Structure 1
Amino acid sequence: MKALTANRLIDGDVVFWKAGKWVERFGDADLFDDPGAAEAAEGQAKSQPTVVIDPYLIDLMESDGLWAPLSYRERIRALGPTNHPSHGKQAEGGEVIEALLHADGAARSSGRVNLIKRK
């Protein structure tokens, strides 16, 4: 399973792909189990260079019956600023936030590793 993420240019906030547009919450993101659909969404996202920067697919894992990013880095990005638990997206709470907080593993997303290898 994969999700598509990027940073919004206007404010640098982490955003996720849903039905052809960007949303701020990981819990609202489209999850792709078909590699072709994921790559098609990534291609469509990359055609929006004035909206976001560096869209890429992230690997997901099951956590507490929900999905969470596999990599620790991506879980931090999905939770918002980590300077204090009462700030950012993590302060909203809920099932998705709990799944993100309790997910374990620190593997890198394969999409990001491929991006790093290309540089």
Structure 2
Amino acid sequence: MKALTANRLDDGEVVFWKAGRWVERFADAELFTAAETGEAAEASAKSQGTTVVDAYLIDLVESEGLWAPLSYRERIRALGPTNHLGHGKQAEGGAAIEALQHASGAARSTGRVNLIKR
């Protein structure tokens, strides 16, 4: 499974792709099972102009019956700042946040590796 992520240009917020638009919560993100579908969504997102910067696909892992980013970096981006549990998106709580907090895996997302190689 994969999800598409980027940073919104006007405020730097981490955003995720869902059905042709950007959403702020990982729990709302569209999940891609086929690489071709995810790559098509990535191309579509990049063609939208100057809404976001550096859109790329991230690898996901199952956690507590839900999906979470495989890489630690992407889990931090999905949760918000790590300085205090009461800050950022993690302050909302709920099953999706719990799954993100308890997910494991430290591999880099293949999409991020490709972005770095450019």
Q: 1:62-73 maps to which residues of 2 (within 5 A)?
A: 62-73=62-73
Amino acid at match of 2:32: F
Equivalent position SS for 1:87? coil
For 1:16 and 1:85, the matched residues in 2 are separated by: 21
Q: How big is the shift at 1:33?
A: 0.1
Residue 9 of structure 2: aligned partner: 9
Worse overlay, 90-99 or 48-57: 48-57
Q: 1:1-119 maps to which residues of 2 (within 5 A)?
A: 1-118=1-118
- CA-based RMSD of the aligned residues comes to 0.8
For 2:49 and 2:101, the matched residues in 1 are separated by: 31
Equivalent position SS for 1:3? strand
> Unpaired segments of 5 or more residues in structure 1?
none
For 2:56 and 2:115, the matched residues in 1 are separated by: 9
Q: How big is the shift at 1:84?
A: 1.0
> Unpaired segments of 5 or more residues in structure 2?
none
Equivalent position SS for 2:53? strand
* TM-score, normalisation: structure 1: 0.96
Runs of 4+ in 1 over 3 A off after TM superposition: none
For 1:88 and 1:3, the matched residues in 2 are separated by: 20
Amino acid at match of 2:12: G
* TM-score, normalisation: structure 2: 0.97
Q: How big is the shift at 1:110?
A: 0.9
Equivalent position SS for 2:96? helix
For 2:54 and 2:116, the matched residues in 1 are separated by: 12
